[in-house]
Amino acid sequence: MLNNILIFTGAGASVQFKKPATREFRQKLSKKYEGSELMKSFLDCPGFDDIEHVLESLKDFELAHNNHMTHYLKNATLPSIVSNTGDFFTKLTRERENIRSDIMEDLFQTYKWNEIDNENTREFYGNLFTITSKYSSKIFVGTTNYDQAIEQACALSNLRYECIDGFEHYQNDISKWNGKKFTEEFNGQGMPVYLYKIHGSLNWKYDGTGNIEKNSRDVGYERGSGENVLIAPTLSPKTAQSKEPFLTLLTELKNKLEKVDACIVIGFSFRDKHIGELFQKFIEKGKNFIVISKSGYVNYCDYLFEQKFSSDEARNAWIRKHRTGKKIFFIHERVEQDNNRNVFTKLEEILSKISKESKSTKNQEKSNPNLSELTELVSELPPEPFLNISLPKSIYHNGDSIKAKISYNGLSIGETILIGVHDPKNKLIDSKRLQVKVDKGEIELELFVIKNWRRYGKYRIEISTQFGPESY
């Protein structure tokens, strides 16, 4: 048993419920507003990859509205080449709030919960919570998503899982915000699922007296009223996080990341820097960090650690070095209905492994009380598997054999290593499956090249274990 697990979900976790990621949402709006020249100029602006960039630009314009450069562009006698700039700023000043409100209305409409997805969300989160609860006495979930997927999954579980989201029932379909619910003793029948919706929810709103209420159903967007309790999808920093309920939600998430042994991140792009900083600290402490995402390596490098690379080879090399001394696991899969069984199988293998290692460490500490002190001293350098492959030459031809030597350390006895040769089109042309008999050592093996390496491009050697692929 681990010392509890925290799950963190981003937009990619809800794509399977027909909720688009922010990039797809921008593309959807671009088609809808084909006839609106001003709106299209934002939605189709080069470099604005998703709706976050669009809303961020509108926020920037609002903040800069009274600065000196804006005054100059609106009032100066400009060269003829930019003579229409003043008209543009006047029009944008007048239309900016309408553009933002139109986008937010579409956001509420797009991400509102549809009951036809109840069964899918019940199945996905039911299976995820079932696996997690084998290794954790409590379930903590943080999310940047606005939809009600997790609340619905708990409501449909027949009290097996009960959602604690910081609200307490008031009357009829209304609940009132009470952040103390997160720290109160749980007296429910099922397993508590503590939910931290750090960017708010479509069914939260201010009631006009300063209190926050939650409706059992999604509420509409109130144009210009400020009643919706939701942080718009903009880039960091998000100033609203200094206000309630966001301050309490983010504080609770920080506290839980300090205490849990493992964090499972599903479908998150790592572009929110304030969340990324929390994850960086978690990783550097040597805790178990599991990323489930089809583009996990790319987003992890590009956004979480701001390491951008021009090739997969360079990125993989950085990842191999970065993972040394850390407990980072990647499941390179998209969560979707026809693939979730595969995702959950890999997740359970990882959780089982780290749980056994945790149990082994605790047993050693019990038999040797001084070991816990020693563990603290070396916690910054925990053992971590590595795999290296050495090839006698770099060019192979038709019919040649590859006599490779693989050295490794820190793998579990009985674990399977899969070694494969891939052609330039990523087709597997030969492979060997070996079982680890000792936790470190060297393996010599022979694989065969079917096509001319020099003529057809670079072949790729890939070594796969449950820790993810390593390419050479």
Q: What is the value of pTM for the model shown?
A: 0.74
Cis peptide preceding 237, ω within 30 of 0 = yes
Per-residue pLDDT 10s for the chain (472 aa) are: 687 999 999 999 999 999 998 889 999 999 999 988 889 988 999 888 888 888 888 887 777 666 666 666 566 655 554 555 556 677 777 788 889 899 999 999 999 998 888 999 999 999 999 999 999 988 999 999 999 999 999 999 988 999 999 999 888 899 999 999 999 999 888 899 999 999 999 999 988 787 899 998 888 888 766 688 988 887 655 566 778 999 999 999 999 999 999 999 999 999 888 899 999 999 999 999 999 998 878 889 998 999 988 888 888 889 888 988 899 999 988 899 999 999 999 999 999 989 888 776 666 555 555 544 433 333 333 334 455 555 555 555 555 666 666 666 555 566 666 666 665 555 666 666 666 666 566 666 666 544 444 333 444 555 554 444 444 4
Burial of 14 (0-12, 13-18, 19+ CB in 10 A): buried
- Mark out the alpha helices in 44-84 (DSSP H runs): 51-63, 68-75
CA dist 366 and 361 (Å) reads 9
Rounded to 5 degrees, what are φ and ψ at 401? -110, 150
Say if strands 460-465 and 416-422 run parallel, antiparallel, or are unpaired.
antiparallel
Q: Which residue has the tokens 């900083």?
A: 277
Question: 191-197 and 200-206 as β-strands: parallel, antiparallel, unpaired?
Answer: unpaired
Question: Which of 453, 447, 454, 452 is closest to 430 using CA atoms?
Answer: 447
Q: 3-state class of 384 per DSSP? A: coil
Strand 262-266 with 288-292, pairing: parallel
Q: CA torsion angle for 140, 144, 145, 146 (degrees, to 10)?
A: 100
Which residues have CB under 8 Å from 442's CB, separation 6+? 405, 406, 407, 408
Contact by Cβ (8 Å): 471, 414: no
Amino acid at 80: S
Other beta carbons less than 10 A from residue 411's beta carbon? 20
Residue 141: burial class (beta carbons within 10 Å; 0-12, 13-18, 19+): buried
DSSP string, 18-38: T---HHHHHHHHHHHTTT-HH
Can you read off the two tokens belonging to residue 92? 């944008």
What is the Cα–Cα distance from 73 to 191, expressed in whole angstroms?
59
Residue 403 one-letter amino acid: K
**Amino acid at the residue 352:** S
Distances (CA, A) of 420 to 386, 432, 451: 17, 6, 15
C-alpha span between 204 and 211 (Å, rounded)? 11
